[in-house]
Amino acid sequence: MRSRVAGTGSYLPSQVLTNHELARRVDTSDAWIRSRTGIRERRIAAPAESTSDLALHAARAALDAAGVAAQDVDLIIVATTTPDMVFPSTACLLQAKLGARGGPAFDVQAVCSGFVYALTVADRMIAGGLARNALVVGAEIYSRILDWNDRGTCVLFGDGAGAVVLLPSTTPGIVSAHLHADGRYADVLCVPGTLSEGQVAGSPFVRMDGGAVFKFAVTVLAEVAGEALAAARLTAADIHWLVPHQANIRIIEATAKRLGVPMERVVTTVERHANTSAASIPLALDEAARDGRLETGQRVLLLGVGGGFTWGAVLLQW
């Protein structure tokens, strides 16, 4: 038994923060941001919105698309770096809001690779008979862990959530998955703050060495894509759609060039969403599914890379 994607969903907060608006708060400009990142705007969660709230909207849309009732959800995995609280998990909070109960619910923390990690775990649990179906969500509120005076980071991120529903299948919808990590690079991209005796110890904001992230991301994304293609005995020409983590248009373009995939076959949302970390791949996947770009039988390659460093690929048969 394997699993297939039966439905997708997404949610973006209503507040739009444009580059021009950001330029009033920090020393930057629309031209500077767009030339270096490709980002034009991003969404910002309302003060009363939590990560589980964003996840709930995306989850309901995915369940509706899959024709699965919330009370029938057997497994919930939420990929997030910005949970509602220290514990319980955002997945447990989402489970309660959905009105589901009894099945396992837990979070996966692999930063921007979180969705491909979570999707892999869910697929293996269905294949192993541990779940009859799965709701996999990537949800983030990065706006709350940004230093809005640091133009090197605050311009890059946004808030949002994306979700998929997996159902059992006798043919592999998820053809293969390839996951990696290297903790030696932890300091390159991190939020080093911790809670201690009711206070934040260390910095609670995103810290990043942008140049190092760029070089590492392009290298490992191309490598793991090649790993997925080799495992399936395919070439880049056999991939109908590439859906990469939406960190930066330069990273996306460089990765596509290394693979020999034309940008016409790459799904991009970074211009309007910015980097939504674990939410970026399912947000892009849902957009492509709903506008008709993804067609039955097509091969779709998901690629993620994030702090840790973590990286991975999931090859789908749509």
The phi, psi pair for 19, rounded to 5°, reads -60, -40
Q: Are residues 210 and 301 in the same domain?
A: yes
The phi, psi pair for 299, rounded to 5°, reads -95, 130
Q: Is the pLDDT of residue 258 over 90?
A: yes
The pLDDT assigned to 155 comes to 98
Last residue of a domain, one of 138, 154, 170: 170
Q: Are residues 160 and 241 in the same domain?
A: no
The model's pLDDT over 270-292, given as tens digits with 9 standing for 90+, comes to: 999 999 999 999 999 999 999 99
Last residue of a domain, one of 170, 186, 202: 170
Dist CA 60 CA 68 (whole Å): 9
Q: Are residues 155 and 19 in the same domain?
A: yes
Q: Are residues 141 and 198 in the same domain?
A: no
Dist CA 95 CA 133 (whole Å): 14
CATH value at residue 156:
3.40.47.10
Q: Is the pLDDT of residue 172 over 90?
A: no
Both tokens assigned to 217: 């991301």
Q: Point out the residues that are catalytic.
A: 112, 245, 275
Q: Are residues 151 and 290 in the same domain?
A: no
The model's pLDDT over 174-191, given as tens digits with 9 standing for 90+, comes to: 999 999 999 999 999 999
The model's pLDDT over 143-167, given as tens digits with 9 standing for 90+, comes to: 999 999 999 999 999 999 999 999 9
Dist CA 23 CA 71 (whole Å): 45
Q: Are residues 164 and 191 in the same domain?
A: no
Find the domain containing 218 and state its range: 175-317
Dist CA 10 CA 139 (whole Å): 9
The pLDDT assigned to 238 comes to 98
The model's pLDDT over 286-311, given as tens digits with 9 standing for 90+, comes to: 999 999 999 999 999 999 999 999 99
The pLDDT assigned to 1 comes to 84
Q: Are residues 292 and 236 in the same domain?
A: yes
Q: Are residues 60 and 78 in the same domain?
A: yes
The phi, psi pair for 160, rounded to 5°, reads 170, 180
Q: Is the pLDDT of residue 35 over 90?
A: yes
Beta carbons of 310 and 278 less than 8 angstroms apart: no
For the segment 224-242, the average pLDDT, to the nearest whole number, is 98
Work out the angle at residue 16's Cα, subtended by the Cα atoms of residues 39 and 294, and round it to the nearest 5 degrees.
60
| pTM recorded for the entire structure | 0.98
- Count CB atoms within 10 A of the CB of residue 173: 18
Q: Are residues 158 and 190 in the same domain?
A: no
Q: Are residues 117 and 190 in the same domain?
A: no
Number of domains in the chain: 2
Q: Are residues 292 and 207 in the same domain?
A: yes
Last residue of a domain, one of 146, 170, 194: 170
Q: Is the pLDDT of residue 252 over 90?
A: yes
Dist CA 141 CA 145 (whole Å): 8
Dist CA 47 CA 10 (whole Å): 20
Provide the b/e sequence for 212-245 (b: ≥16 CB within 10 Å): ebeebbbebbbebbbbbbeebeeebeebebbbbb
Beta carbons of 105 and 89 less than 8 angstroms apart: yes
Q: Are residues 56 and 193 in the same domain?
A: no
Both tokens assigned to 220: 């490992």
Beta bridge partners of 18: 41
Beta bridge partners of 196: 199
The model's pLDDT over 43-99, given as tens digits with 9 standing for 90+, comes to: 999 999 999 999 999 999 999 999 999 999 999 999 999 999 999 999 999 999 999
State how far the alpha carbon of 293 is from the alpha carbons of 8, 38, 55, in Å. 13, 22, 24
Beta bridge partners of 178: 313
> Which among 5, 107, 8 has a CA at the least distance from the CA of 52?
107
Dist CA 76 CA 122 (whole Å): 8
